[in-house]
Amino acid sequence: DIQMTQAPSSVSASVGDRVTITCRASKDVANRLVWYQQKPGKVPKLLIYAASTLQSGVPSRFSGSGSGTDFTLTISSLQPEDFATYYCQQADSFPRTFGQGTKLEIK
Amino acid sequence: QVQLQESGPGLVKPSQTLSLTCAVSGTSITSGGYYWNWIRQHPGKGLEWIGYILFSGSTIYNPSLKSRVTISLDTSKNHISLKLSSVTAADTAMYYCAKDLGAHVDTYGMDVWGQGTTVTVSS
């Protein structure tokens, strides 16, 4: 299985801050990397696919980059609704695997 | 607009078989070219992919669950089913069904999720 490791596991930030979350795959997944946002008690929401393609309806303050084994999710200017847990997922091989999540909290 | 809704018993006894259904509306499960996934999330934990079924009926399962999992299509009801046999307390989780974003492409992640159904395994 491909192991996905996110860093940090949690981060505190303020509204307006720029935040970057990293995701590392244990093997090359090319650009087959997906990011989700999950708020407490809610369903995961697809943010970015193919490492850098913004899903329809997702604000442009979210961006993704990377290829191979190292990826980043950046939120350029945090908004109150962005405080949530973020997961990366590789879509290159089976089984599909997720990172452990990064909890973004209000400072 | 595609919508998914999971249903099933909230409580299952150890060693029994967990059976869940995902009702799909807004598209046909066989004609849209989509991949249909089951994912679970243990309480307070991350996401675990269980497996998926293609519009054609072919399946791919997580090897960690493969010996116990069956995913199938019910075309008459436009449902996707999940069966997990010989359950233990470790199978207590929220179970989600989710549709892959791309038609005939399974590398873009999952864009439509059901609300999830909580399953507790306990005697």
pLDDT at site B102: 86
Quickly state the pLDDT bin for B33 (edges 50, 70, 90).
Answer: confident
Contacts of B115 in chain A (CB under 8 A): 43
According to DSSP, the β-strands at B11-12 and B117-121 are: parallel
Q: What is the mean pLDDT of chain A?
A: 97
Q: Which of residues 37-56 of A touch B (CB under 8 A)?
A: 43-46, 49-50, 55
CB contact under 8 A, A89 and B47: yes
Per-residue DSSP letter, B104: T
Of B46, B62, B106, nearest to A100 by CB-CB distance is B46
pLDDT at site A69: 98
- Kindly tell me if the per-residue pLDDT of A47 is higher than 90: yes
Q: Is A86 on the interface with B (CB under 8 A)?
A: no
- Kindly tell me if the per-residue pLDDT of A50 is higher than 90: yes
Angle at B44 between CA B70 and CA A50, to 5 degrees: 65
According to DSSP, the β-strands at B69-74 and B59-61 are: unpaired
Contacts of A87 in chain B (CB under 8 A): 46-47
Quickly state the pLDDT bin for A28 (edges 50, 70, 90).
Answer: very high
Order the strands of the B79-84 sheet from edge to edge. B3-7, B18-25, B79-84, B69-74
Angle at A19 between CA A15 and CA A23, to 5 degrees: 145
Task: Name which of A4, A21, A36 is nearest A76 in CA terms.
Answer: A21
Candidates A43, A52, A71, A97, partner chain B, best to mutate (most B CBs within 10 A): A43
* B56-103 pLDDT per residue, tens: 899 999 999 989 999 999 999 999 999 999 999 999 999 999 999 988
* B99-123 pLDDT per residue, tens: 999 888 888 999 999 999 999 999 9
Candidates B6, B39, B108, B117, partner chain A, best to mutate (most A CBs within 10 A): B108
Contact in structure between B6 and B97 (CB atoms under 8 Å): yes
pLDDT at site B88: 98
CB contact under 8 A, A43 and B96: yes
| Rounded percentage of chain A residues whose pLDDT exceeds 90 | 98
Q: H or E segment at B81?
A: strand B79-84
- Kindly tell me if the per-residue pLDDT of A1 is higher than 90: yes
Q: Which of residues 17-56 of B touch A (CB under 8 A)?
A: 37, 46-49, 51
Task: Name which of A22, A18, A48, A13 is nearest A102 in CA terms.
Answer: A22
pLDDT at site A32: 97
User: What sign results for the dihedral spanned by CA atoms B107, A62, B117, A102?
Assistant: positive
Residue B111 CA from chain centroid, whole number: 14
How far apart are the C-alpha atoms of A73 and A66, rounded to whole Å? 9
Please give the structure tokens belonging to residue B44. Answer: 């307070």
pLDDT at site B82: 98
